[in-house]
Each structure stands twice: as C-alpha cells, then as structure tokens.
Amino acid sequence: MRRWRQLGQLHCAVIQGFIEAVYALIHVAPEPFALDIQNDDCQTALHLAVLTGQAGVARRLLVAGASLSPRDRHGNTALHMASAEGNLEVLKALLEPLPSRPPRPLELDQRNYDGKSLPPLPLTLSISA
C-alpha cells in the first residue's frame, strides 16, 4: 500500500487505466515538465503508459509536452520499452511527428545502463513524416 501512496495521481491513473482522469490531470499540469515527474523506479507517466500498452495516453502525454528522454532506474527510455515490447501501436504513438512542432531528433542508438541499445524497430513500422 505504501508504494501506491508514493506515486503521483497521474502515475496511479495511468496504471489503473483511468483514461479520463489521465486526460484531466494532463490538462491541469502547470508546466510540461510536470508530466516527466518520476516514481521510485524513475518511471514517468509516459513509461507507465508504454508498459501498460496505452498508445492513446502515450500520445496525449507527448502532445502535452512530456519528454521521450527520461530514463528509468535501468536506463531505459519509453522508446526502449516500447521497442522491447514490440507494440507497434505504442511505437507509432511515440515516433509520429508532433503537430505544430518542428521534428524532434530521435536518438535510436541510445544505450541503457546495461549497455544495451534499442532493439531493432519492427520492419512493419511505417512512420508518416
């Protein structure tokens, strides 16, 4: 029970799959950096959305200003996790260009703390530029 109290409301809403609560919390975030707050495992709400396979939540977080850069306690970014899971819907949500923003550079050669790089992206993943 103690662990649940240590998570922020956004983290809990993502884990529980309370989509409307997630969207409301994203809307009231004071600044985009608030979306990148990390839990005890150094996971952001974006990490948790990826781990729970919630592509729509992941996309909404990114559009609202969440970053792909934060790493969990193993050095994995949300992109590491999505690629390892092979979830094409989540990968597309993470990689598609963001509306009304310049294209962001993707660092596909990032290594986690064990020295492992991103697993190869599935060949069937087609990203519209």
Separation in Å, CA 96 to CA 90, 105, 120:
10, 12, 17
Backbone φ/ψ region at 99: left (φ over 0), alpha (ψ -120 to 50), beta: beta
| pLDDT score at 7 | 55
Q: Rounded distance, CA 64 to CA 28, Å?
A: 11
Which residue ranges make up each domain of the chain?
Answer: 2-95
Q: What are 6-53's pLDDT values in tens digits? A: 458 999 999 999 999 999 999 998 888 999 999 999 999 999 999 999
Q: Does the predicted model carry a pTM greater than 0.85?
A: no
Confidence tier at 2 by pLDDT (50, 70, 90)? very low
CATH 3.30.1280.10 holds for 2-95? no
Q: What are 47-91's pLDDT values in tens digits? A: 999 999 999 999 999 999 999 999 999 999 999 899 888 889 999
